[in-house]
Amino acid sequence: MSDREGHTRSRHERFLDAIADGEGYYLADDDGNGYVPPRAVDPIGGTRNLTQEPLPETGEIESYTVVHVPPSEFEADAPYALAIVDMGRVRLTGQVCDCDLDDVDIGLTVSPAVVTTNNEERVLTFTSQENA
């Protein structure tokens, strides 16, 4: 990606690019709090002095729900699990893929990934590492 392309892509798109390339990251403030892009300002102290830190390769599901009646763009995927995943200093939310719904549970170890939906939108997902 050229510098010019990097400036035209949103912070969120660059975050997804990094995860897709296996180089996920989060932003940390001087107090050790973590934030997920596109955040550019510490919401507590107001500083813009955020450093890029490597995102752990795996995390654990803290909470999840199974969606049976989704928005129209995700109808073909239903039912599916959405999870909040503890990745250390940050928590990420996304769909759990490549895993039977019966196997999704709190404490399941997952890795972040990026997939392209049927409507060509890239989204954050998680894949189970229990059988990897």
- 127: containing domain: 56-132
Claim to verify: residue 41 and residue 104 sit in the same structural domain: no
Predicted pLDDT at 120: 83
Stretch among 4-8, 9-13, 87-91, 109-113 having the lowest mean pLDDT: 4-8
pLDDT at residue 73 tops 70: yes
Predicted pLDDT at 121: 85
d(CA 23, CA 3): 18
CA-to-CA separations, 48 to 28, 52, 71, in angstroms, rounded: 10, 12, 35
Claim to verify: residue 20 and residue 43 sit in the same structural domain: yes
CA-to-CA separations, 61 to 32, 96, 117, 132, in angstroms, rounded: 22, 10, 22, 16
Which tokens is 38 given? 């596109």
Claim to verify: residue 38 and residue 60 sit in the same structural domain: no
Tens digit of each residue's pLDDT (9 = 90 or more) over 85-116: 999 999 999 999 988 999 999 999 999 999 99
Claim to verify: residue 33 and residue 65 sit in the same structural domain: no
What's the pTM value of the predicted model, to 2 decimals?
A: 0.87
Domain boundary residue, one of 38, 55, 72: 55
Helix (H, G, I), strand (E, B) or coil at 74: helix
Do the Cβ atoms of 35 and 55 come closer than 8 Å? no
Claim to verify: residue 107 and residue 81 sit in the same structural domain: yes
Claim to verify: residue 70 and residue 129 sit in the same structural domain: yes
Claim to verify: residue 127 and residue 90 sit in the same structural domain: yes
